[in-house]
Homo-oligomer: A and B are copies of this chain.
Amino acid sequence: MSKVLPKRSDDYSLWYNELVKRADLAENAPVRGCMIIKPYGYSIWEKMQAVLDKMFKETGHSNAYFPLFIPKSYLSKEASHIDGFAKECAVVTHYRLKNDENGKGIIVDPEAKLDEELIVRPTSETVIWNTYKTWIQSHRDLPLLINQWANVVRWEMRTRLFLRTTEFLWQEGHTAHATKQEAIVETEQMMNVYATFAQNFMALPVHRGIKSANERFAGAEETYCIEALMQDGKALQAGTSHFLGQNFAKAFDVKFASKEGSLEYVWGTSWGVSTRLMGALIMAHSDDEGLVLPPLLAPIQVVIVPIFKTAEQLDLIEATLKPILAALKAKDISVKFDHSDKYSPGFKFAEYELKGVPLRVAIGARDIENGTVELARRDTKEKTTVPQEGLADTIEKLLQEIQENIYKKAFAYREANTFVADDYTTFKTMLDETPGFILAHWDGTPETEEKIKEETKATIRCIPLDVTSEPGICMVTGKPSAQRVLFARAY
Instruction: List the interface of chain A (C-beta within 8 A of B).
Output: 27, 29-31, 34-39, 42-43, 45-46, 62-76, 82, 86-98, 105-106, 108, 117-120, 127, 130-131, 140, 146, 150-151, 153, 155, 167, 169, 342
Contact A118 B90 (CB under 8 A): yes
Bound complex: CA A153 to CA B96 (Å): 12
Residue among A29, A43, A71, A88 facing the most chain B CB atoms (10 A cut-off): A29
Question: Are A88 and B95 in contact, with the CB atoms below 8 A?
Answer: yes
User: CB-CB < 8 A to A37: which residues of B?
Assistant: 64-65
With known contacts A67-B31, A92-B90, A120-B120, A72–B46 Cβ distance under 8 A? no
CB contacts (< 8 Å) of A89 on chain B: these are 95-97
List 6 A-B residue pairs with CB atoms under 8 Å apart, sorted by A's residue number: A35-B67, A42-B62, A43-B62, A89-B95, A91-B93, A92-B120
* Cβ-defined contact, A118 with B42, below 8 A: no
Are A342 and B30 touching (Cβ within 8 A)? no
Q: Flag if A31 contacts B90 (CB, 8 Å).
A: no
Cross-chain contact B94 with A91 (CB below 8 angstroms) = yes
Query: Within the complex, what minimum Cβ distance (angstroms) separates A144 from chain B?
Result: 9
Contact flag A64-B42 (CB < 8 Å), given A71-B31, A108-B117, A127-B29: yes
Q: Are B39 and A64 in contact (CB under 8 A)?
A: yes
Of the residues B31, B46, B72, B155, contact of A106 by C-beta under 8 Å:
B72
Q: How far is the CB of A291 from chain B (nearest CB, A)?
A: 17
**Which of B38, B39, B66, B93 is the one whose CB lies under 8 Å from A108?**
B93
CB closest chain-B residue, reference A117: B108
Q: Is the CB of A127 within 8 A of B62?
A: no
B91 touches A108 (CB 8 A): yes
Contact between chains at B97 and A151 (CB < 8 Å) = no
Q: How far is A130 from B34 in the complex, measured between Cα atoms in Å?
A: 14
| A68 in contact with B153 given A63-B42, A90-B118, A140-B342 (CB within 8 Å) | yes
**Residues of chain B within 8 A of A27, CB atoms compared:** 131
Asked if A155 meets B69 with Cβ closer than 8 Å, knowing A39-B64, A106-B82, the reply is no
Query: Which residues on B sit within 8 Å (CB–CB) of A97?
Result: 72, 75, 86-87, 89, 91, 119
B30, B42, B92: the one within 8 Å of A65 (CB): B42
Residues of B within 8 A of A75 (CB): 97, 106
Complex-state Cα separation, A37 to B140, whole angstroms: 21
For the complex, what is the distance from the CA of A290 to the CA of B31, rounded to whole Å?
Answer: 45
Please measure, in the bound complex, the distance between the C-alpha atom of A153 and the C-alpha atom of B68, giving whole angstroms: 9
